[in-house]
Structure 1
Amino acid sequence: MHNTKRLHYLDTWRLIAVLLVIFHHIGNYSELGRWINPELALHLPRLGKFGVLIFFCISGFVICKGLINEQSLSKVSMTGFYLRRGLRIIPPLFLYLAVVAILSILSVIQVSFGQLVRSAMFVCNFHQLGSCSWFGGHTWSLAFEEQFYLIFPVFFTIFYLTKSPRLLLYTLSGFTLCSLVFYITDWPTISDYLTTFSYMLAGCACALYWSRLQTFIRNLPLIIWVLSVIVMFTLVGFFPLSKRYETIMYITIMPPLICTVVLGTPVSNHFIRYFFENRFFSYLGKISYVIYLWQQLATANYPVLSPWWTLIFTTAVFPFAYLSYEYLERPLIQFGARRTIQIHRRRPP
């Protein structure tokens, strides 16, 4: 009931996003990174951040699109929503953290119990609570997403956003303005929090105005979209900006730009469709969550090992992600979908 037709090109964008994160980690943190051109390495952190922002846009869009579809058919089930999200996110994460804990007990890596707990509780985006270590630090992005999932469905149903989509645009504008004010007045932590939510809200806005966005993109010359992609990658990865102006760019320009360009990919064009709806790329994007979890272990700095082990470990992540998705994630996703249908059927007409 909750499923919408899967947009396979978004899975390819997920693959691009996780590859950007992997390149950043290998280039800036692993032993293999010593052989990367220093000039290129300077740009990798921004590209890695860009990858995570793509994830945020897609997450906001997919969640909102599912809620819109569910509401159009009957009524949004909060129980079903949180059940599906929990089964999708928590088991793969806990499996990863369990392996990290075992490796720590065996003295292969160093992670404290508190760091594991913070990762498991989705609070690694609150730096005031302490470090989550390298091996759990990447769960900061999951923390933002889970906190968004807790709040947004309630907001969606209370204000019935399918009937009043402009309210979301006002909310997004308010988040952007407040984030900018907090940044200028030297409250960067609050600014970062609001900015991150802005990317997911921008994805939601694209979902609410989906038919209009599709029509707009379809009527644009392909060269406009291609140039937009080039501008987007140039701005986030290579355009020289001071830290202050770069942050202002991420607050104001990038949420609508990234979400519109990514979500509005013109797959009606044969050449664009050939790449973005490639079944292999799309499948790798579908399993990108597990790839994202385990690449952190693979790309860590292991000084006692040959740098080539980083490449071996990273390559091994992909077949492992396949096994995890097929034998852990997919069955749980299907179970969550069945339970949601049962919840809807038990509701009085």
Structure 2
Amino acid sequence: MKTGSRVESKPGRLPSVDGIRGLSIGLVILGHASGTILVFPRWLIPGMLVLGNAGLGVSFFFVISGYLITDLLLREIEGTGQLSFYNFYVRRVTRIFPAFYVYLAFIGVLSFLRAVTVTPADLIVSACFLWNYLPVTSGSWWLGQTWSLCIEEQFYLLWPMILVSLGRKKAWRLALVIVCIEPLIRILTYILLPSLRARIPVMLHTRADILMFGCLLALSQSTDPLYRLLA
């Protein structure tokens, strides 16, 4: 019987996924560069409008995350007959929390030294992975980019429980429904909740379809897709 840690390491790396990761990183870096570097050679400007699409790069990351996390969960469930929530969350914590909280501490020190403008509320909201729902008044650039990590952590918190509770077949259907209705949710949020318009691109419930694309890929892949989905 495979343990949770072995299940995660056994599949190995996927070169194609690593390539998409690299592309995503490039798009994010170029996107931020295009917003912070004031002068580009004139011949570079058209290319930056396409290649400097940081939002597209983040969307690629979300699709990859939805796919890899769902594939990891399914492998453990099928390999052991159950999912160890403890092992899953320990892995997520050890991968993300150390670097993230070191960064927050560093920003806190810089704020104390008045090198950057960050309030204690900024740090608390970011530390709780709620920046995308509870942005604070300072509008700190130094922490504003944590919205994408907030979406990832909220996804990690909810999706394993949903997958185990519903099973593969119903989880596949739910992911498909979310992909289909998410555009309507964004439209309704824009119309009915004007105060949230600026946050539509950064909230989990208005960006979940991007993650669900990856989840659908993982839930659908199999040597016998029809059997896997209907069993």
Q: What are the Cα deviations for residues 305-335 of structure 1, in whole angstroms up to 9, with x where unaligned? A: xxxxxxxxxxxxxxxxxxxxxxxxxxxxxxx
Aligned length: 212
Tell me, yes or no, if structure 1 residue 208 matches structure 2 residue 219: yes
SS at match of 2:167: coil
Aligned to 2:65: 59
**Equivalence map 1:259-274=2 (5 Å):** none
Checking the alignment, whether the CA contact within 8 Å between 1:118 and 1:132 is kept in structure 2 is no
- In structure 2, how many angstroms separate the alpha carbons of the residues matched to 1:70 and 1:137? 35
Checking the alignment, whether the CA contact within 8 Å between 2:27 and 2:52 is kept in structure 1 is no
SS at match of 1:160: helix
Aligned to 2:172: 165
The structural deviation recorded for 1:135 is 0.9
Aligned to 2:105: 98
Aligned to 2:30: 23
SS at match of 1:122: coil
For the structure 1 residues 21 and 112, does the alpha-carbon distance in structure 2 shift closer, same or farther, using more than 3 Å as the test? same
For the structure 1 residues 92 and 128, does the alpha-carbon distance in structure 2 shift closer, same or farther, using more than 3 Å as the test? closer
The structural deviation recorded for 1:46 is 6.7
Checking the alignment, whether the CA contact within 8 Å between 1:168 and 1:205 is kept in structure 2 is yes
2:113 partner amino acid: L
2:65 partner amino acid: S
Checking the alignment, whether the CA contact within 8 Å between 2:176 and 2:216 is kept in structure 1 is yes
- In structure 2, how many angstroms separate the alpha carbons of the residues matched to 1:57 and 1:49? 13
Checking the alignment, whether the CA contact within 8 Å between 2:67 and 2:217 is kept in structure 1 is yes
Aligned to 2:56: 50
* Match 1:2 to one of 7, 10, 13: 7
For the structure 1 residues 161 and 23, does the alpha-carbon distance in structure 2 shift closer, same or farther, using more than 3 Å as the test? same
Tell me, yes or no, if structure 1 residue 34 matches structure 2 residue 39: yes
Tell me, yes or no, if structure 1 residue 144 matches structure 2 residue 155: no
The structural deviation recorded for 1:34 is 2.5
The structural deviation recorded for 1:55 is 0.8
The structural deviation recorded for 1:163 is 7.0
1:160 partner amino acid: G
**Which has the bigger relative contact order, CA under 8 A and spacing at least 6?**
1
Question: Under a length normalisation based on structure 1, what TM-score does the superposition of the two structures give?
Answer: 0.54
The structural deviation recorded for 1:63 is 0.6
Fraction of identical pairs, as percent = 31
SS at match of 1:34: coil
The structural deviation recorded for 1:182 is 3.4
Tell me, yes or no, if structure 1 residue 114 matches structure 2 residue 125: no
The structural deviation recorded for 1:196 is 1.2
The structural deviation recorded for 1:28 is 1.1
The structural deviation recorded for 1:17 is 1.2
Checking the alignment, whether the CA contact within 8 Å between 1:94 and 1:120 is kept in structure 2 is yes
Checking the alignment, whether the CA contact within 8 Å between 1:115 and 1:133 is kept in structure 2 is yes
Checking the alignment, whether the CA contact within 8 Å between 1:119 and 1:132 is kept in structure 2 is no
The structural deviation recorded for 1:2 is 2.8
The structural deviation recorded for 1:19 is 1.9
**Equivalence map 1:1-349=2 (5 Å):** 1-3=6-8, 4-29=11-36, 32-37=37-42, 39-40=45-46, 43=49, 47-74=53-80, 75-131=82-138, 133-161=140-168, 165-183=172-190, 188=197, 192=201, 193=203, 194-211=205-222
SS at match of 1:182: helix
SS at match of 2:168: coil
